Amino acid sequence: MCPRVNRRLRPFHSLKLASLPAAVGLLASLAFFSATAQVEEESYAVKRGDTIYSIAREFGVPPAELAARNGLSGSFHIYAGQRLIIPAGSTVQAPVSRARAAAHVSLPYSIKRAIALAPVRPGRWQYIVVHHSGVDTGTVKGMDHYHRDVRHMENGLAYDFVIGNGSGMGDGEIAVGRRWTLQLDGGHLASEAQNKIALGICLVGNFDEHPPTRKEMESLRALVVVLMARCNLTPRAVKTHQQINIVHTRCPGTKFPIKTFLDSLPDPHR
Ligand SMILES: [Zn+2]
């Protein structure tokens, strides 16, 4: 759901209908409501676990704009109880590009909850690594079985999250693995040292053959944005398996759009 629709508008019932012409005027203004409504600035009390990124996403404003409006610089540090001013904006409905539309995809509540509830140690995760499964059908159960019983990994599924492509799992469906829930080391990189500091996300598909589905990329972006906020990371922490592995790999394939994807992520230094 587009976060902008969550913004609180001045309630219409607070307006007094003094006369018929006023009521007609109100009805006329209602007709244009969706196209022209302006949103007033509002105040927000920072809660524990909030970051500039998570608040900016919730209210649909750029993180840099939110930080600038509140005189924050450098690390964007905020604290629980602090009051922030959410910059005023307009809810004007304009045609949005595919990238903007993807930017507004938000995670299902169950996934947000699983991300929020995991006992993340500050500074624990330094990378978010993207993989493909290499095959065009996949389920969490199948991957877990493969990693546990064939690859003999005692913690099973090597990744923290899996995103489906419509074959085996839903298109764009996100599954949360127990490595995330229990904050276990990963099993997705060749280096055990890297597995201790790198989260793994696997998209189902063979991206040497074709690109990921649009819904996979939308879910990936929404997931990575929330994980960056949860783990206090910037887009520089987001890598492909190929970019970070100490042993050469093609993963996640030549048709994975890494540059477009990284450019779509919010970056306080851009
Ligand atoms: Zn990989």
- What one-character DSSP code corresponds to residue 93? -
Q: How confident is the model at residue 3 (pLDDT cuts 50, 70, 90)?
A: very low
Among 94, 115, 131, residue at a domain's last position? 94
Neighbours of ion ligand 1 (CB under 5 A): 131, 241, 251
Structural domains in the chain (count): 2
Most confident of 7-16, 27-36, 244-253: 244-253
Instruction: Return the structure tokens found at 232.
Output: 């206090």
Residue 228 sits in the same domain as residue 154: yes
Among 43, 61, 94, residue at a domain's last position? 94
Q: How confident is the model at residue 2 (pLDDT cuts 50, 70, 90)?
A: very low
Among 43, 63, 94, residue at a domain's last position? 94
Residue 36 CA to residue 198 CA, distance in Å, equals 45
CATH of the domain at 54: 3.10.350.10
Tens digits of residue pLDDT in 27-49: 433 333 333 333 467 777 888 88
- Is residue 90's pLDDT more than 50? no
CA of 144 to the centre of ligand 1 (A): 15
Residue 34 sits in the same domain as residue 63: yes
Q: Report CA torsion sign: 150, 160, 187, 257.
A: positive
| Percentage above 90 pLDDT, the chain | 59
Backbone φ and ψ of 147, nearest 5°: -70, -35
The pLDDT, as a whole number, for residue 223 is 98
Instruction: Return the structure tokens found at 80.
Output: 């629980």
Does the residue 269 lie in any domain?
Answer: no
Of the listed ranges 63-67, 94-98, 195-199, the least confidently predicted one is 94-98
Q: What one-letter code names the amino acid at 8?
A: R
CA of 60 to the centre of ligand 1 (A): 32
CATH of the domain at 189: 3.40.80.10
CA of 188 to the centre of ligand 1 (A): 7
CA of 195 to the centre of ligand 1 (A): 12
Domain encompassing residue 35: 3-94
